[in-house]
């Protein structure tokens, strides 16, 4: 795999990942902007409107038909919260020309032009977004926002984050808020779109069998030519001091059979380099089948089927989650607290550390075997302005020492305990 990046204009970057490992090519366009209560809903809506139609493909059926003609190119868009940024993501995945019965269809070039058109040259009526599309997408977005209760485990996690980051950008729901939707109309939304496009950070990824002409296709693309350079308006994730807080306890009820317990932890770091030790810490705590939480909550006490923890590195939080019998709340919480204490006391072996490292290293090694993971990896680096190769990353994990892990444990505290029950 060869990775190259090049600035197209200030604030707009092209990332080329040349690899022959896959049957597919992926093109991704990411628009990154600050998460803000005032714009979160409209940005979510913009991402929904763009997939409704572009200048030459005015309806979503037209887009779908074009994609089908390109041997089932899949066009998709998503919305992510990455640190304090909201990222609008657009993807096209196509098969390599090598696997197409009639050669020379030039699918890569074609799909590049299509995705750039969808993002940068939307379908307009009287110079603004089509009213009908905006009204329909407002209703859809309302459903999507309200739909956050449907997956109870995910809902419990979202609620925990909301409580931990009250009044802060990261606490915002990525799809925005129902009460904002009413205020937005098509004329205003188009204005907001123009503002977004003129100031957001733009990253274009192309992964797969890239040809020499691919770069030119992008540089020569009319839509790329038309957008200007910018001081990209986004937040570079950095370590911030977390104030020591009293544990918050929140219990909410909903119609559930099983209780969903989430513990949101703050990890206090002084230095970016401590993130590697935090990864190892999390793996020993709840990141694998050998972890303390899985072994003690599930295997020994049989309180749960799902019991684990995950590290959200942009914000330095660890989230422990498990699904339990509602009456076992105290018991499960007690066990989890015990594991956190043990970590603080260094009550884990060199073997635990070695095994955790092996697990993490294995995941790192597969980055290059998974096309979408590869893009996510390089995009995360791009955002944090951190350049580290997969090999260096691996080495950093291997270098982590026990005292560094214990140090992380002693700088980790429970911020919020959230319980969803009946």
Partner 1 sequence: MQIIENLKVKEKLYLEKLENGLAVMIIPKPGIQKKYMIWGTNYGSNDSEFVVPGEKENTVVPMGVAHFLEHKLFEQENGTNSLDVLTSLGVEANAYTTNDHTAYLFECTDNFYEAMDELMDYVQHPYFTDENVEKEKGIIGQEIMMYDDYPEWRVYLNAMSAMYHNHPVKLDITGTIETISHIDKDVLYRCYKTFYNPSNMTLVICGDFEPEKILEEVKKRLIDTKASGEIKRIYPQEPENIVQPKIEQKLEVSQPLYTIGIKDKREIDVQKSEIVKKHICIEILLDMIIGKSSNLYKQLYNDGIIYSTPSLDYEFAKDYAHVLVSGQSNNPELVLEKFKEEIKNLKQNGVSEDALSRIKKKIYGGYIKEYNDVADISRMFLADYFKGICSFDYLEEIEGINVEYIEQVLKDVFKEEKMVISIVRN
Q: How far is the CB of 110 from partner 1 (least distance, A)?
A: 13
Q: Say if strands 412-421 and 259-267 run parallel, antiparallel, or are unpaired.
A: antiparallel
Work out whether 421 is an interface residue with partner 1 (CB under 8 A). no
Q: How far is the CB of 220 from partner 1 (least distance, A)?
A: 27
How far is the C-alpha of 211 from the C-alpha of 343, rounded, in Å? 50
Region from 262-270, 294-302, 313-321, 335-343 binding partner 1, contact rule CB under 8 A: 294-302
CA 38 and chain centroid, separation: 21
Identity of the residue, 25 or 415, whose beta carbon is nearer to partner 1 in the bound complex: 25
* 184, two tokens: 């937005």
Task: Residue 48: name the closest of 139, 160, 173 by CA.
Answer: 139
- Near partner 1 by CB under 8 A: residue from 9, 144, 192, 199: 144
Identity of the residue, 155 or 193, whose beta carbon is nearer to partner 1 in the bound complex: 155
How far is the C-alpha of 229 from the C-alpha of 148, rounded, in Å? 37
Binding residue count for partner 1, defined by CB under 8 A: 69
Under 8 Å CB-to-CB from 276, ≥6 apart: which residues?
Answer: 396, 397, 399, 400
Identity of the residue, 70 or 218, whose beta carbon is nearer to partner 1 in the bound complex: 70
Region from 196-204, 263-271, 309-317, 361-369 binding partner 1, contact rule CB under 8 A: 361-369
* Interaction residues for partner 1, span 299-338 (CB under 8 A): 299, 302-306, 323-325
Could you count the other beta carbons within 10 Å of the beta carbon of residue 311? 21
Under 8 Å CB-to-CB from 27, ≥6 apart: which residues?
Answer: 91, 92, 93, 108, 111, 112, 115, 204, 205, 206, 207
Work out whether 237 is an interface residue with partner 1 (CB under 8 A). no
- Near partner 1 by CB under 8 A: residue from 13, 242, 298, 313: 298
* Interaction residues for partner 1, span 256-275 (CB under 8 A): 256-258
How far is the C-alpha of 279 from the C-alpha of 287, rounded, in Å? 9
Task: Residue 134: name the closest of 65, 189, 208 by CA.
Answer: 189
Positions touching partner 1 (CB under 8 A) are: 20-24, 59-61, 64-65, 67-73, 93-95, 98-99, 101, 132, 136, 139-140, 143-144, 146-153, 254-258, 288-290, 295, 298-299, 302-306, 323-325, 351, 355, 357-359, 361-362, 365-366, 368-371
């Amino acid at each position: 795999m060869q990775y190259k990046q090049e600035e197209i204009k200030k604030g707009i970057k092209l990332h080329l990942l040349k690899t022959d490992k896959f049957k597919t090519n992926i093109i991704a366009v990411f628009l990154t902007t600050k998460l803000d209560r005032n714009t979160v809903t409209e940005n979510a809506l913009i991402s929904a409107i763009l997939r409704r139609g572009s200048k030459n493909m005015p309806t979503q059926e037209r887009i779908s038909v074009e994609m089908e003609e390109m041997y089932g190119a899949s066009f998709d868009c998503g919305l992510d919260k990455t640190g304090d940024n909201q990222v609008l993501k657009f993807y096209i995945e196509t098969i390599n020309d090598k696997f197409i019965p009639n050669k020379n269809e030039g699918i890569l070039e074609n799909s590049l032009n299509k995705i750039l058109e969808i993002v940068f040259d939307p379908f307009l009526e009287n110079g603004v977004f089509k009213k009908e599309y905006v009204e329909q997408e407002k209703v859809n977005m309302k459903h999507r926002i309200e739909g956050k209760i449907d997956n109870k485990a995910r809902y419990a996690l979202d609620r925990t984050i909301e409580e931990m980051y009250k009044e802060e950008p990261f606490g915002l729901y990525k799809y925005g808020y129902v009460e904002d939707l009413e205020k937005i109309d098509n004329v205003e939304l188009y204005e907001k779109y123009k503002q977004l496009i003129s100031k957001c950070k733009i990253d274009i990824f192309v992964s797969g069998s890239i040809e020499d002409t691919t770069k030119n296709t992008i540089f020569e693309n009319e839509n790329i030519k038309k957008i200007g350079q910018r001081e990209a308006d986004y937040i570079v994730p950095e370590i911030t001091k977390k104030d020591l807080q009293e544990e918050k306890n929140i219990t909410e009820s909903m119609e559930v059979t099983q209780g969903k317990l989430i513990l949101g932890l703050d990890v206090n770091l002084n230095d970016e380099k401590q993130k590697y030790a935090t990864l190892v810490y999390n793996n020993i705590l709840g990141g694998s089948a050998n972890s303390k939480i899985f072994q003690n909550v599930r295997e020994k006490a049989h309180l749960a089927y799902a019991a684990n923890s995950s590290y959200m590195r942009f914000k330095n939080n660890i989230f422990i989650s498990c699904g339990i019998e509602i009456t076992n709340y105290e018991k499960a919480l007690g066990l989890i607290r015990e594991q956190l204490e043990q970590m603080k006391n260094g009550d884990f072996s060199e073997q635990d550390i070695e095994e955790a490292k092996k697990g993490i290293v294995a995941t790192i090694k597969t980055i290059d075997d998974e096309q979408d993971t590869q893009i996510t990896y390089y995009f995360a680096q791009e955002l944090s302005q951190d350049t580290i190769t997969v090999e260096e990353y691996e080495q950093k994990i291997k270098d982590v020492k026990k005292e560094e892990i214990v140090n992380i444990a002693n700088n980790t505290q429970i911020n919020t305990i959230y319980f969803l029950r009946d």
